[in-house]
Amino acid sequence: MDCSEEVQSLSDEASTPIELKKGMSIFLDILRRADKNDDGKLSFDEFKAYFSDGVLAGDELKELFHAIDTHNTNNVDTDELCEYFSQHLGEYENVLAALEDLNVSILKAMDKTKKDYQEATHLEQFVTRFLLKETTSQLHSLQRSLECAMETTAEQTRQERQGPVKPEVLPIQWSGRRSNRRLQRNNSLSPNNPLLNLVNSGLYEEDNQWITQINRLQKLIDRLEKKELRLEPVEEEVLGSSTKSHILIVQRQLSVLEEEVEEFRLALRQYMDCASTQTGCLHVAVQRLANESRFILYEFWEQSNVWKNHLQTNYSKTFQRGNVDFLETPEIMTTMLVPASWWVLNNN
């Protein structure tokens, strides 16, 4: 074989895609969702934003990043992800392989249902609906078991470290809309979907009293930002040593991709329903700016510690993880403590 043939052979070998072991395709999806600038690799900022779980500290995440980056390029690619995690999968290797088969089977069933359902008899349609419901129930049951395991392991690690570690997430400059290699979702909502109608029916319209209070707080923040303003209280309020002397207000600004607005609203509605039932949550409200796909979420909490515990709940992490796909730019979060007596006065 002459030199040119050898070079060609090496070139062909380099261009041949590496065959992934069964179950490892999940890491292709992980890289796709975490890779915000679509360059086919993860910078440390992108890695940190996706893999931060509220337990590992920033320096530990950096250590993990460099352990995965065996090519020492300060970037992580799919091969490196697969190489690292394949050494630590254990029993989860079988789980991921089963999930891969399950995903293929469900997609085939959905495609078959889409083709045959309209022409089926009423009894056959009932059987299809019944099987869909039972399949969903079984998957939800598995999901609840996994969520319980996630919360238990995270809580165990926090207790071992004698207190929660504040998660660190660096803002990432996103390059506008995601490219066309974003995979199309298989569970896109139909315009006739009852969940979509429920979202659009006015559940996002908060009562006028709350809107007024939120606007007053926003105006107060704007006034406080003016340097020439001098605050001279009419009455001096003496605060006790109680930890409940203040309440925490959290403002979250979320700029959503236009094509993801409806799915984001469903996820937001679920998050708000869960948060509002959490012990220590006084109120949750949301506003959407006119003619923009931008939402402002307000959360009122009895204490800062209660809010920090809320951040570690599974529903909060699920909402945060979903925002990786939904948001056009990184979320902006601000917090402010206000006297608890203001809350008491407003609610009397």
> Rounded CA gap, 178 and 326, in Å?
10
Q: Indicate the residue type of 3.
A: C
The DSSP result for 16-50, as a single string, is SPPPPPTTTTHHHHHHHHH-TT-SSSB-HHHHHHH
Question: Where are the strands (E) in the chain, listed by range?
Answer: 246-255, 281-288, 294-301, 332-339
> Rounded CA gap, 87 and 72, in Å?
19
Overall fold of domain 24-88:
Recoverin; domain 1 (1.10.238)
The percentage of residues in the chain with a pLDDT greater than 70, rounded to a whole number, is: 68
> Rounded CA gap, 21 and 100, in Å?
11
Sign of CA dihedral 89, 90, 92, 97: positive
Residue where the block lists tokens 């207000």: 249
> Rounded CA gap, 34 and 30, in Å?
6
Structure tokens at 310: 């809320």
Helix (H, G, I), strand (E, B) or coil at 138: helix
Residue where the block lists tokens 């006084």: 282
Planar angle of CA 67, 68, 73, nearest 5 degrees: 95
Task: With a cut of 70, say whether residue 19 has pLDDT above it.
Answer: no
**pTM recorded for the entire structure:** 0.45
Would you tell me how many other CB atoms lie within 10 Å of the CB of residue 273? 12
210-241 pLDDT per residue, tens: 666 666 666 666 655 554 445 455 555 565 55
Confidence of residue 67 (pLDDT cuts 50, 70, 90): very high
Assess contact for 29 and 103: CB atoms under 8 A.
no
Residue where the block lists tokens 């069933």: 109
92-151 pLDDT per residue, tens: 888 888 888 888 888 898 888 888 888 889 898 899 899 988 888 888 888 878 877 777
Structural class in CATH, domain 246-342:
alpha beta
Helices 314-326 and 261-276 sit at what angle, rounded to 10 degrees?
A: 160
Assess contact for 322 and 256: CB atoms under 8 A.
no
Assess contact for 158 and 56: CB atoms under 8 A.
no
Strands 281-288, 246-255: pairing is: unpaired
Domain layout of the chain by residue ranges: 24-88, 246-342
| Residue among 62, 85, 65 nearest 75 (CA) | 65
Task: With a cut of 80, say whether residue 336 has pLDDT above it.
Answer: yes
